[in-house]
Amino acid sequence: MRTLDKVERHPSPVEQSLERLHIPVLLREVLELLRPAPGGRFLDCTVGLGGHAEAILEAGGPETILCGIDRDAEALALAEERLDRYRGQAQLVHGDFRELWELAREHRWASFDSILFDLGVSSFQLGNPERGFSFFINGPLDMRMDRSGGSRTAAELLAVLSEKELAGILWEFGEERFSRRIARAIVRKREQDPITSTKQLKDLVERTVPRSAWPRKIHPATRTFQALRIAVNDELSGLSGTLEEASALLKPGGRLVVIAFHSLEDRIVKETFRRLAGQEPSAFRLLTKKPVVPSEEEREQNPRSRSAKLRALEKVAN
């Protein structure tokens, strides 16, 4: 019996349903930069539902090895199912990429041809009401990417933080100009009722931000939800150090590719890459002077890709 080649192969039902749950962003650009090839070794630090990972394995061919990390055990289980036919080539690990060094030691990972970070949350996480990431659907205010650990949920943070701490989070991680007003409204509301659902928080922000000041292109609760999510998952601390650790795991000529979805994250990536490429003599060179952004076509097909910014760095081969 003849096996199907790449052109003939149709996505399996699992792949089709996963494609609906999350469309990998900037896929063509990622593959061009990662250059999957036979015998290559790749590390995907945010494997999610395995969309990029699958494309890397598919493009690289039978000898390609892919190691993947995600802190979300539910996403990882789906990725495992998706990558089942690459058994022996894919190794997926539940963990936090900020522990990259320990994970690399534990699993004897070294010398990667390319490493990918596709930061933030997936549409799978955003679209699940149980996870509490989105104000579009009502659900418990959870927002933890890793529900297996002991970290506090968004509802718990809203219940225990002081008004000043809440305002600081909304300002620092959401750049929300009504941070103080919203923090005050949260504290007043929780004196009567605990804030435990996404709808309660969304309604509170809608009531608190004056209608005349509602942003034109985004919902007024967008910044508040982003800020809380970053705080719950402690998303920014350690990112720069992790990127430096990842750069040390690259082979000469290897590439580090990072996709960020908001300006705070992108700033950290930009500054870390500049620092690495700016050392004298430098072991790295910047491949993207300006960030790569999705084409108009991709933005139309996948609105979630709109805020994506990709930056890439190469370890100098000598």
Ligand X SMILES: C[S@@+](CC[C@H](N)C(=O)[O-])C[C@H]1O[C@@H](n2cnc3c(N)ncnc32)[C@H](O)[C@@H]1O
Interface residues toward ligand X, by CB under 6 A: 22, 24, 46, 48-52, 69-72, 75, 96-98, 118, 120-122, 145
Identify which of residues 48 and 254 has a Cβ nearer to ligand X in the complex. 48
Q: Report the nearest approach of ligand X to the CB of residue 103 (Å).
A: 10
Identify which of residues 15 and 70 has a Cβ nearer to ligand X in the complex. 70
Contact 265, 236 (CB under 8 A): yes
Alpha helices, H only, 161-235: 163-174, 179-192, 198-208, 222-233
Contact 47, 115 (CB under 8 A): no
Q: Report the nearest approach of ligand X to the CB of residue 117 (Å).
A: 8
d(CA 197, CA 200): 5
Q: Report the nearest approach of ligand X to the CB of residue 164 (Å).
A: 27
Q: Which single residue is written with the structure tokens 């009401």?
A: 129
d(CA 20, CA 175): 31
Q: Report the nearest approach of ligand X to the CB of residue 50 (Å).
A: 5
Q: Report the nearest approach of ligand X to the CB of residue 78 (Å).
A: 9
Pairing of strands 41-44, 284-286: unpaired
The distance between the two most distant Cα atoms of the chain, rounded to a whole number of Å, is 70
Angle at 84 between CA 82 and CA 85, to 5 degrees: 110
Identify which of residues 96 and 245 has a Cβ nearer to ligand X in the complex. 96
d(CA 50, CA 205): 35
Q: Report the nearest approach of ligand X to the CB of residue 144 (Å).
A: 10
Identify which of residues 122 and 272 has a Cβ nearer to ligand X in the complex. 122
Identify which of residues 70 and 200 has a Cβ nearer to ligand X in the complex. 70
Identify which of residues 153 and 200 has a Cβ nearer to ligand X in the complex. 153
Contact 302, 23 (CB under 8 A): yes
